[in-house]
């Protein structure tokens, strides 16, 4: 039978020698895929350091890079959950705006002001769960559902502020947007925004790698039909991942609101989803799901932030920054494909 033949084409190594060699090859392959884009990030950093005559690796500049990467890192973490299941969430920029608007509006109410932060998070979670429910229960394609909510939620965000910019110079918890956590007094401190982003990455890692749900997320992305037959509640996993993506977008909205003391439903978060998706893809997560890691996403988000920062440092014009960023993204992923040729699918 033909199918017999095909599956016998790769016999298992039988000798102990073969097993050892295979094991070594396997370890090298695992190392390469674990490192992922990290070398690219380091090369970029060093390159910019020399091109900018030593202005990149300074405490102040690194602080700026981390702060600029923070919101995108949080969005990209949520996007990683979604893309690991083989889906996509195009609505995170709009959800971010709506959450920031909801939070800021509430923060201006004297007796409820302190509740603005949970309100922003819940707004994001709510939109995310709606996305998830439409995708999981009505079996609609994620691209279509989140493309729809990209537009609809943007409209709601404008509606929340009556299409104006909402200000609150005395917003509670403003420190998370502009303060820093002092590590060694007078020597080292780290912006709260970055602390939050790193915490989000850590929690995401815990969920993805240390919980039952994490394995189920990888399983749904790897083979949805097999997951269903294996007794996994695929619908619950899908609602969870879109819920997480919405929640993190809500958190991103809160971070932006605290940083700017203001939000505008029309402008805030425009095309943030593209940067988030780019970070995930740069991080080596498979677009069809099932393969990828949250650490890769962190590296991807940092690459984007380093590129923006470095190009400004060396004085490249705004227009050329777009062109160069776009080409670097394509080049980096092309390099990745070439490197991993044969060992993984797209």
Partner 1 sequence: MNDPILEMRGVSKSFFGIKALRAVDLTVYAGEIHALMGENGAGKSTLMKILSGAYRPDPGGEIRIEGNPVRIEGPLGGRAAGISIIYQELSLAPNLSVAENIYLGREMSRAGLLARGAMREGVGPILRRLGADFLPSTLVAHLSMGQRQLVEIARALHARSKILIMDEPTTSLSAAESERLFALVRQLRAEGLAIIYISHRMDEVYALGDRVTVLRDGRLVGSLDKPEIRADTIVRMMVGRDVSSFYKKDHDPEAGRGHPVLAAIDMADGRRVKGCSLTVHASEVVGLAGLIGAGRTELAHLIIGAAPRTSGQLELEGRPVEIRTPGEALEAGIAYLTEDRKALGLFLDMSCLDNINLAVLGRDAKLGWVLDRDKARERADRAFAGLSIRAANVGVPAGGLSGGNQQKVLLSRLLAIAPKVLILDEPTRGVDVGAKSEIYSIIDNLAKTGTAILVISSDLPEIIGICDRVVVMRAGHIAGEVSRGPHSPLAQEDIMALATGMEHLDA
Which is nearer to partner 1, 8 or 60 (by Cβ)?
8
Q: Which stretch binds partner 1 (CB under 8 A): 132-140, 147-155, 210-218, 318-326?
A: 210-218
CA distance linking residue 299 with residue 308, whole number of Å:
14
Give min distance, CB of 8 to partner 1, in A: 5
CA distance linking residue 277 with residue 301, whole number of Å:
10
Give min distance, CB of 81 to partner 1, in A: 16
Count of residues that interact with partner 1, criterion CB under 8 A: 42
The upper half-sphere exposure of residue 134, i.e. CA atoms within 13 Å in the direction of its Cβ, equals 18
Give min distance, CB of 297 to partner 1, in A: 18
Give min distance, CB of 132 to partner 1, in A: 19
Q: Which stretch binds partner 1 (CB under 8 A): 1-9, 82-90, 264-272, 320-328?
A: 1-9
| Secondary structure of 212-277 as H, E, C letters | HHHHHHHHHHHCHHHHHHCCCCHHHHHHHHHHHHHHHHHHHHHHHHHHHCEEECCCCCCCHHHHHH
Q: Does 231 bind partner 1 (CB under 8 A)?
A: yes
Q: Which stretch binds partner 1 (CB under 8 A): 19-27, 188-196, 249-257, 308-316?
A: 19-27
Q: Which stretch binds partner 1 (CB under 8 A): 8-16, 48-56, 128-136, 246-254?
A: 8-16
Q: Does 340 bind partner 1 (CB under 8 A)?
A: no
Q: Is 182 helix (H, G, I), strand (E, B) or coil?
A: strand
CA distance linking residue 259 with residue 178, whole number of Å:
6
Q: Which stretch binds partner 1 (CB under 8 A): 42-50, 78-86, 112-120, 217-225?
A: 217-225
CA distance linking residue 21 with residue 51, whole number of Å:
43
Q: Is the dihedral of CA 303, 305, 311, 314 positive or negative?
A: negative
Q: Does 22 bind partner 1 (CB under 8 A)?
A: yes
Q: Which stretch binds partner 1 (CB under 8 A): 116-124, 162-170, 189-197, 214-222?
A: 214-222
Which is nearer to partner 1, 115 or 344 (by Cβ)?
344
Best CA proximity match to 244, nearest among 131, 69, 94, 81: 81
Q: Does 114 bind partner 1 (CB under 8 A)?
A: no
Q: Does 163 bind partner 1 (CB under 8 A)?
A: no
Pick from 291, 305, 306, 313: which binds partner 1 (CB under 8 A)?
291
Helix H or strand E segment including 103 = helix 92-107
Q: Does 8 bind partner 1 (CB under 8 A)?
A: yes
Pick from 46, 202, 317, 345: which binds partner 1 (CB under 8 A)?
345
**Contacting residues for 333 by C-beta, under 8 A, at least 6 apart:** 281, 282
**Contacting residues for 267 by C-beta, under 8 A, at least 6 apart:** none
Q: Residues in the site for partner 1, rule: CB under 8 A?
A: 1-14, 19, 22-23, 26, 210-216, 218-219, 222-223, 225-233, 290-291, 344-345
């Amino acid at each position: 039978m033909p199918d017999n033949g095909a599956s016998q084409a790769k016999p298992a190594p039988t000798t102990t020698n073969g097993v050892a060699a295979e094991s070594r090859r396997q370890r090298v392959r695992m190392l390469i895929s674990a490192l992922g884009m990290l070398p690219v990030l380091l090369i970029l950093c060093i390159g910019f350091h020399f091109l900018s005559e030593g202005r990149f690796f300074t405490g102040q500049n690194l602080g700026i890079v981390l702060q600029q990467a923070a919101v995108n890192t949080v969005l990209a973490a949520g996007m990683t959950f979604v893309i690991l299941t083989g889906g996509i969430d195009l609505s995170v920029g709009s959800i971010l705006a709506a959450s920031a608007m909801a939070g800021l509006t509430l923060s201006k109410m004297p007796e409820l002001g302190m509740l603005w932060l949970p309100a922003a998070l819940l707004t994001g979670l709510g939109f995310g769960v709606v996305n998830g429910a439409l995708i999981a229960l009505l079996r609609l394609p994620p691209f279509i559902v989140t493309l729809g909510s990209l537009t609809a939620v943007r409209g709601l965000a404008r509606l929340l502020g009556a299409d104006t910019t909402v200000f609150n110079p005395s917003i509670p918890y403003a420190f998370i947007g502009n303060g820093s956590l002092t590590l060694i007094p007078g020597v080292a401190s780290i912006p709260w925004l970055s602390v939050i982003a790193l915490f989000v990455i850590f929690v995401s890692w815990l969920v993805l790698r240390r919980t039952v749900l994490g394995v189920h997320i990888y399983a749904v992305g790897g083979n949805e039909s097999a997951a269903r037959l294996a007794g996994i509640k695929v619908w619950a996993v899908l609602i969870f991942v879109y819920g997480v993506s919405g929640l993190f977008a809500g958190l991103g909205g809160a971070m932006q609101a605290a940083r700017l003391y203001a939000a505008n439903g029309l402008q805030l978060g425009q095309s943030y989803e593209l940067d988030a998706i780019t970070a995930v893809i740069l991080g080596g997560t498979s677009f069809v799901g099932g393969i990828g890691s949250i650490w890769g996403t962190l590296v991807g988000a940092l690459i984007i932030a380093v590129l923006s920062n470095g190009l400004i440092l060396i004085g490249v014009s705004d227009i050329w920054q777009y062109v160069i960023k776009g080409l670097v993204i394509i080049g980096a992923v092309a390099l990745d494909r070439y490197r991993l040729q044969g060992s993984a699918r797209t």
